[in-house]
Structure 1
Amino acid sequence: MCIRDLVNGVKGFNAVGLPVHLANFAVPAGAGALMTAQLPQADAGNQFNDSYNEPSLYSATTAAEYLAGGGGAVAALNPGVAAPGAGPTFVTGALEAASVLNEWSRRTNAAAGWVTATDWVITFPTKNFYVDNDAGNEFAGRNTGRTNNIAAPGLTAATLAPFSQSFVDTAAATPVRRGQSCDSVSYQLYNREEQRSSALGFSPGGTAQLCYEANVLTFNQGAILNSPIAKSINYPENFTFGWLNVRFIGTNAANRGLPAVGFGITSRDDAGSALLSEAGLYDHSIIRPVAPAP
């Protein structure tokens, strides 16, 4: 977790609204004693690493490991990524997933009693360190403060990997600011009896892609989270619950997957009794790539 996720650098409050207490003091050149971890770069003596931009997932220093099969041996990972720095490479290796799986429920007949809906959230925690190349922007994943920005002619397939498309690339011959960075997925929906949906749809747009660091999927327009960027997986069958497998199939992700985490949240609403209205949240399961990329 990055400090900036827990601290409001402008107002000095943490995520639960309490005043900030951080044992992190520094004296920038030409300034008095300041608690710099809650200050922007300009107010932290123009020292990027003393500002609220760090520490982040870029700061990881331990190589990724995971419990392998066949006796639970610990295997070191080298995800084979042309990485912007060691930190995101390590975290990407630890989180790489070929696909994510979880359950869903969608019951819409209120006259029969309670109704249900499910939203999924799939996030790529290290994505910005690969796809956001903007040298002078302290909030970009790749910038001069981290010394990981890519100079002209800009990002390539090798420096984007395991992702496939740049989000911002100001070093390109024609600067890119597309506002999204899309990776293709495939998916299969099942009900609890292992019956597959035969005519799945992905809307809006029709093309199955996840285009943000934090992505929301809903089922037959359930929309619990009311996300403006939600994609709906639509199915014609009268399925009311089951599970879904989402696979990462982008060109650069084909052999190593993507660094993905997330959860599914399901709500049940009963108009007849508030005591029967509730929600539950479950972390996604993942399937790792068959073998880490060399």
Structure 2
Amino acid sequence: MKRNNLTTSVVAGLAAIAGIASTANAVELNPDGLGQVLLYPYYTVNEGQQTLISVVNTAEVAKAVKVRFLEGYNSREVLDFNLFLSPFDVWTGNIFALSDATLSGDGAAIGTADKSCTAPDKNRWTGTIPGSTVPYNTFRNYAYTGRNVDTGPTGFERTREGHIELISMADLAGSLASAVTHRGGVPNNCSVVQSISPQNSLLVAPTSGLFGAGGIVNVSQGTFFTYNAEAIDGFTNTVLFSDQSSLTPSLAQAITGQDGTGQDIATAYVFGTGGQLIRSDYLAGGTPNNAIDAVSAVFMSSNLYNEYNVDSSVGSNTDWVVTFPTKRFYVDNQYLQVPLRGPGAVEPFVFTFGEDADGNGDGLSCSEVGILQYDREEGAPTEDSDGFSPPPPDQPPSALCREVNVISFLNIPQGSPAPTESGVLYSKLVANIDPYASTGWLNLDLAADSAHVSRASIDGDVYSGLPATGFQAVNYVNENVTEGVLSNYSGLFRHRASRSCANGSAVCS
């Protein structure tokens, strides 16, 4: 049964009267940045760049966290490990290209000088970065080669850009907490937590309190693009600890409570564009298991909005990162258990990854989008000049075809080939928009394809669009600071979004 439509202020007031938190048992995208799950929408090591990541435990309890790195085509995993955070701990890492550290290989790796416990232990990682004592671990291609081939690239270059997720698996009690707690900056005994049984009674349901940040830095160019990790709160009320499988825990394991029959459910709380608080419930842990839809719901966007600046007079250029953090659960043949290149994608997506179909193909899972550009004075291009430029062959004129997409705004002469990398982040996951003006803004319509609608919640809520996150990265180049001196000024701005949710003929509530 649907709940009454309550504004945020009314919900907050009722919660205060009742002495409860209004979203204590629901998946939500926490606007304050604290949560159980952290999503970092982009990492890259292209063209001398490195990506710095950090996670902070603000809680007075120790935590076990799964750290997972996912490549940008189909979000196949390239590395994961378990991280154990002491109360009030900070963990940091640096993703870099092997070649930039004078190591052999075309891929990427993660290095860290942090002392927090990991499993596997850092003395079992690949080695130490040359000229230092810092351990590093190389990213792997096992998940998309051999029997795991998915029609995308198979080389190690595929590991060079993607996205990251951190999932709280459990809080630690007793001797487990003592083992990871730092004394003089060093954990007491990491070996205690490196072979924990998932049934250990000292593993308790994870609480909130994590926040994180990422930064893409190019030391030689002097650019630094920084962002806050997206924080999902209320993700789980049960222990999700695993050291046996790289695929668990996953974003598809959200669980927030039970319905009246004892069936596990995953509830999502989403703020509608009109300010209403929408509650959507999904079956979890049984058949069907639609728990991933609760996570997707908090990212569902009918439109993304942001600016661009490609003014040659100030040396500016712009990239947009658009990441679909849950897409693999709807398009990857391994999750869907369908034949490679065969159909079977789940809404709101249309094609499985690599599906042999018009508008798709190897290494792709295309979603048609609408592109509405404006300059700063309300001007807009004619319809026939809109779309990606040059148009990609055998695809819709405006389609985002990967899990991580980087949209560049480069003026490509008519008849010239499409760019092979973006203008700011040097991404190979690039789609280009011919900018209408030197400065302006873009409305990316994710609901342009009528097929982009979510599966219905238990109560019948249906969201239009796609589950997306990301940011605008803009760089300004000043070649005239003084003779022989060049300066870069970089900025990053999170996308804004609108949402559309319907329940039959009514607005969701």
Q: TM-score, normalised by structure 1?
A: 0.71
> Whole-Å Cα distance in 1 between the matches of residues 480 and 348 of structure 2?
49
Match of 1:250 in 2: 449
Greater strand fraction, Structure 1 or Structure 2: 2
Matched letter for residue 381 of structure 2: S
1:36 shift after superposition: 6.2
Q: Of 29, 36, 54, which aligns to 2:248?
A: 54
Alpha-carbon distance between aligned partners in 2 of 1:177 and 1:185, rounded to the nearest angstrom: 17
Cα root mean square deviation, aligned = 4.0
Q: Distance in 1 between matches of 2:495 and 2:298?
A: 15
Q: Secondary structure at the match of 2:330?
A: helix
The letter of the residue matching 1:122 is V
Contact preservation (8 Å) 1:115, 1:270: yes
TM-score scaled by length of structure 2 = 0.43
| Structure 2 equivalent of residue 187 of structure 1 | 371
Aligned length: 252
| Other structure's SS at 2:365 match | coil
Matched, 1:200 2:295: no
CA deviation map 1:144-177 (0-9, x unaligned): xxxx635899653xx52110000057xx9xxx98
Answer yes or no: is 1:18 the counterpart of 2:216: no
Taking the aligned partners of 2:373 and 2:278, their CA distance within structure 1 comes to 32
Query: Which protein has the larger Cα radius of gyration, Structure 1 or Structure 2?
Result: 2
2-side partners of 1:35 and 1:84: how far apart?
34
For the Cα contact (< 8 Å) 2:302–2:464, is it kept in 1?
Answer: yes
Shift of residue 74, structure 1, vs aligned partner? 2.3
2:351 matches 1:165: yes
SS in 1 for 2:326: coil
- Contact kept in structure 2, 1:9 and 1:52, CA below 8 Å: yes
Q: In the alignment, what sits opposite 2:297?
A: 93
> What is the alpha-carbon distance in structure 2 between the residues aligned to residue 84 and residue 240 of structure 1?
49
> Which one has more relative contact order, counting CA pairs under 8 Å at least 6 apart?
1
Query: Are the equivalent residues in 2 in contact too, given 1:130–1:160 (CA < 8 A)?
Result: yes
Counterpart of 1:116 in structure 2 is 316
**Structure 1: how far apart are the matches of 2:195 and 2:268?**
30
In the alignment, the residues of structure 1 paired with residue 402 and residue 346 of structure 2 have an alpha-carbon distance, to the nearest angstrom, of 14
Deviation at 1:240, TM superposition (A): 1.8
Change (3 A) 1:68 1:231: closer
Q: Partner of 1:74 in structure 2?
A: 277
CA distance 1:8–1:190, shift in 2 (3 Å): same
Secondary structure of 1:3's match? strand
Partner of 2:495: 284
SS in structure 2 at match of 1:4: strand
Cα distance change, pair 244–292 in 1 and its aligned pair in 2 (3 A): farther
Question: Which residue is 1:139 aligned to?
Answer: none
C-alpha deviation, 1:67, in angstroms: 2.5
Partner amino acid, structure 1, of 2:367: D
